[in-house]
Structure 1
Amino acid sequence: MDLNLELLNAIDSFVWGPPLLVLLVGTGILLTLRLKFLQIFRLPKALGLIFKAQNKGNGDIDSFKALCTALSATVGTGNIVGVATAIAAGGPGAIFWMWMAAFFGMATKYAEGLLAVKYREVDSKGEIAGGPMFYIKNGMGPKFKWLGSLFAIFGILVAYFGIGTFAQVNSIVDITKMTIGLDPMWTALILTILVAAITLGGLQSIASAAAKIVPAMAVIYFISTIGVLVYFADKVPAAIQTIVYSAFSGSAAAGGFLGATVMLAMRNGIARGVFSNESGLGSAPIVAAAAKTKWPAEQGLISMTGTFIDTIIICTLTGLSIVVSGEWMNGLNGAALTNAAFKDAFPVFGGYMLMIGLILFAFTTILGWNYYGERCMIYLCGTKGVLPYRIIFIILVASGAFLKLEAIWVLADIVNGLMAIPNLIALLALSGVVVRETAKYFDHLKTGKAYEEYEDLDPSKVTTSKAQDSLAD
């Protein structure tokens, strides 16, 4: 196992080397500049749209359900376990780099949601099909279809071996065993039955479950972490100072913590930030494409709020809870680290509070990623691939309870990085389309002009020649 882990770490270091970090953050910076810091100036509008979107236009689900389904996949163990592993490996400074990745990632997530709606299609079953595969094929042109297929292959791998199964299941098993002593066999059985019952119902079943669970779990976890911060209120200012200072100076060795360099903090913060909010990964646009809207930019704004909620709010609360408790210096990792922080504040109930939050987060992520992987499979093999995909997914959920934590997170990092590359290339190539669609939408808000009055008509019927003309501009 040590040899295999060493090999995985070597591959992970190569995939998440400087080129990918530059591509990931650079794409967000470019889009931020071209969109004139839209994630700052248009954030109030975006937050308002969560509940006030018109939901007029072609689509399978309303914008709120699309956001909840996307959040169900993004708000997962990355917000609890991922933050803890980032701090354990890179020190408190990793949180600062999570913030940076999230800030620029909001522009990236906006572009993903916009392009997903603009270039979506209707499949043979009459359902909306969209995501990076389609904006690569329809936006960049048929000669880049291979790049879309590559994304779909990596997407299935992430669903099977990355965010979608192992990392979530393993975290649920760990926290239930740690808190209530539940045998992993029982956890795996219960989880597998629940996942099968919901995912076999398809998008409508998943979206309906997400719309009920996601708001509740966010509120529960928000109250829990605020409780920890109130308990350690006198240490919060110093914790923020430590986070910022460590981001640029590294962390000195203390207790069981061996120390971290600035590069480690940056790498772990960005990698775990992407794992958590999935900006640039290309997953969220798969479900954003199904939203009932005729304005690509409207869904882009709603999608953007996912990164804000996931990282700027939830990951920050987790990170601050860990830092103020001082447990990050005691050699703990993963759920055990976050659990220790909660127990410091609430010795009796802290463990149970964290367990409930983590189970809900991880469970909904499994549901969301089941759908993402399924759409990637349909893109590659058609609807005949759905049943085999679901069966394999459920089997992997059942087996994920018996794998080791460290190897799981390294494997998840590798497939995440590979999935991001085709998507980021497409976002750069189609950045001009993003800018033009943004201008149309905000002109519409001022003038009331209908989408059909603009040059591009139905976004689901954009011809290849038009797409190529847009790309050439």
Structure 2
Amino acid sequence: MDYLLELVQMVNTYLSDYILCFLLIGLGLYYTIRTRFVQVRCLGEGFRRFFGNFSLHGENGKSGMSSFQALATAVAAQVGTGNVVGASGAILTGGPGAIFWMWIIAFFGMATNYAEAVLAQVTRVVKEDGTVLGGPVYYIRKAFPGAFGKFLAAFFAVAITLALGFMGCMVQSNSIGETSEAAFGIPAWGVGIIIALLAGFVFIGGTKRIARITEKLVPVMAVFYLIGGAAILLANYERVPEAVSLIFYYAFNPDAIIGGSWGMAIKTAISQGVKRGLFSNEAGMGSTPHAHALANVEKPHDQGVVAMVGVFIDTFVVLTMTALVVITTLYTGDGVLANGAAEGISKTNMAQIAFSSLFGSSLGSAFIAVSLLFFAFSTILSWNLFAKINVEYLMGKSAVKVFSVIAICFVFMGSCLSNNLVWELTDMFNNLMVIPNSLALFALSSVVVGHVDTSNLEENDANEYIVQTDN
């Protein structure tokens, strides 16, 4: 296990430090420029569509999902342990400045996520029985017809099945098990059995059951967590400005807290921001397009702007709340990490320690355990759906039931296995998913640009935009 962990960590180092940095930042910049900052121009429209479609009782009896159900399913995938454990790990390893780089990744990632949702809508498939399927495998085939496209699509389908259907669910159940054991004294394997049984019940119900649960679960879990975080920040309001300043200061001077040379420290901070940013908001990874493909909307642009809201909520709201709570309580004033590393602090217990500063040890641990239960369980449901779509693409509908049974076993196994190895394996497969997805996004940029709404551009800019698109 130790040898395997070292090997996977070495692969992840090359992927996250080099390939992903260039791919994700480059892709986000590319789409930001080509869409004329769609994440700025159309974010308001995205929120209007989000609140206009808000409902705890979505479309029943119809194929696909409502636009809100699709967003709730996507947000359920995005808002998970990455927003609590992942953000804490990024701060612990890369310093508070890693959050700044997560913001940068998310800002450009909003344009990337817009492109993913638009392409998922353009290439989605409606089968004879009314079932709607869509996702990167379909727009990868559109981008690269022939044998190369088949290979890339199959590579992506295998990677996402391993990353989300198996390894990713292990990460989620692992976090639930560890925090529940610490907070309530329940054995992690016992929690794993309960989570596996609940997940199995939802898996059997198919897409509609997942949509009905996520549309109710996502708003509740977000509000619950944000209220708790707001209470911490109000109690430490005098330290909040310092916490914000630390994020910006250590983004460019990470060696002051990480140690070593400036170059190595800045590389670590950016790397952590990219790696944990990808795991948190999933923009460019190719996971959330599966949900957005199922949305019943008038035109692809409509779901594209809604998809951007998912990245915004994930990073600039939920993840930022975690970061401010952790930095305010642990890195400012007499915080245990204000003067450097402290024994006993890990990415798993950082948030619990931070919330315990106000709520007390027992209640703080219980709050994080319940929050992670909501976050991680909803992520398991969404990731299973995304993996199922790819299993059906690879092996047909008959293989889906077999996959579901194996996935339930992995959910249970995750609660019992080593945290570090599970996280590293998940990171590796997540990283591998990005490569074929990014290639297709670059190749189909003209298709995306052709669906961008130009109504809020100046007339001359809009005409120029249309000419560029036609060319």
The reply to whether TM is greater than 0.5 is yes
Q: Unaligned 5+ residue runs, structure 1? A: 447-454, 456-469
**Is it true that 1:150 corresponds to 2:155 in the alignment?**
yes
Q: Deviations over 1:70-120 (max 9, x none)?
A: 111111000000001111111111100100000000000000001100111
Give the counterpart letter for 1:246 in structure 2: Y
Q: Deviations over 1:233-284 (max 9, x none)?
A: 11111111111111111143589xxx98111111011110110110000110
**Is it true that 1:230 corresponds to 2:223 in the alignment?**
no
Give the counterpart letter for 1:343 in structure 2: S
Q: Deviations over 1:27-53 (max 9, x none)?
A: 000100111111112111101111325
Match of 1:40 in 2: 40
Match of 2:403 in 1: 389
Q: Deviations over 1:282-322 (max 9, x none)?
A: 11011111101130010011111100000111111101111
**Is it true that 1:69 corresponds to 2:73 in the alignment?**
yes
SS in 1 for 2:65: coil
Match of 1:330 in 2: 342
**Is it true that 1:113 corresponds to 2:113 in the alignment?**
no
The farther-off stretch of 112-121 and 347-356 is: 347-356
**Is it true that 1:101 corresponds to 2:101 in the alignment?**
no
Match of 1:6 in 2: 6
**Offset of residue 349 of structure 1:** 2.4
The farther-off stretch of 133-142 and 95-104 is: 133-142
**Is it true that 1:160 corresponds to 2:154 in the alignment?**
no
**Offset of residue 149 of structure 1:** 1.6
**Is it true that 1:409 corresponds to 2:423 in the alignment?**
yes
**Is it true that 1:431 corresponds to 2:445 in the alignment?**
yes
Match of 1:419 in 2: 433
Give the counterpart letter for 2:232 in structure 1: V
Match of 1:374 in 2: 388
Q: Is the 8 A contact 2:133 2:290 kept in 1?
A: yes
Q: How does 1:320-359 map to 2 (within 5 A)?
A: 320-326=324-330, 327-328=336-337, 329-331=341-343, 332-347=345-360, 349-359=363-373
**Is it true that 1:23 corresponds to 2:23 in the alignment?**
yes
Match of 1:182 in 2: 186
Q: Is the 8 A contact 1:109 1:300 kept in 2?
A: yes
Q: Measure the CA separation in 2 of the matches of 1:175 and 1:17.
A: 30
Q: Measure the CA separation in 2 of the matches of 1:43 and 1:33.
A: 16
Q: Measure the CA separation in 1 of the matches of 2:176 and 2:162.
A: 21
Q: Measure the CA separation in 2 of the matches of 1:211 and 1:247.
A: 36
Give the counterpart letter for 1:383 in structure 2: K
Q: Is the 8 A contact 1:232 1:345 kept in 2?
A: no
The farther-off stretch of 75-84 and 347-356 is: 347-356
Q: Measure the CA separation in 1 of the matches of 2:23 and 2:470.
A: 22
SS in 2 for 1:7: helix
Give the counterpart letter for 1:379 in structure 2: Y
**Offset of residue 402 of structure 1:** 1.0
**Is it true that 1:197 corresponds to 2:204 in the alignment?**
no
Q: Is the 8 A contact 1:63 1:291 kept in 2?
A: yes
Percent identity, aligned pairs only? 37
SS in 1 for 2:36: coil
Q: How does 1:285-364 map to 2 (within 5 A)?
A: 285-326=289-330, 327-328=336-337, 329-331=341-343, 332-347=345-360, 349-364=363-378
Q: Measure the CA separation in 1 of the matches of 2:165 and 2:429.
A: 10
**Offset of residue 124 of structure 1:** 5.2
Q: Measure the CA separation in 2 of the matches of 1:151 and 1:220.
A: 35
Q: Measure the CA separation in 1 of the matches of 2:370 and 2:321.
A: 16
**Offset of residue 471 of structure 1:** 10
Match of 1:460 in 2: none
Q: Measure the CA separation in 2 of the matches of 1:415 and 1:238.
A: 37
**Offset of residue 140 of structure 1:** 3.8
Q: Is the 8 A contact 2:164 2:387 kept in 1?
A: yes
Match of 1:123 in 2: 127
Match of 2:463 in 1: none
Give the counterpart letter for 1:157 in structure 2: L
Q: What is the Cα-based RMSD across aligned positions, in Å?
A: 2.4
**Offset of residue 151 of structure 1:** 1.0
Match of 2:462 in 1: none
Give the counterpart letter for 1:32 in structure 2: T
The TM-score, its normalising length taken from structure 2, stands at: 0.90
Q: Measure the CA separation in 2 of the matches of 1:386 and 1:123.
A: 16
Q: Deviations over 1:132-180 (max 9, x none)?
A: 11111134434423211211111101123433x1110110011101111
Give the counterpart letter for 2:160 in structure 1: G
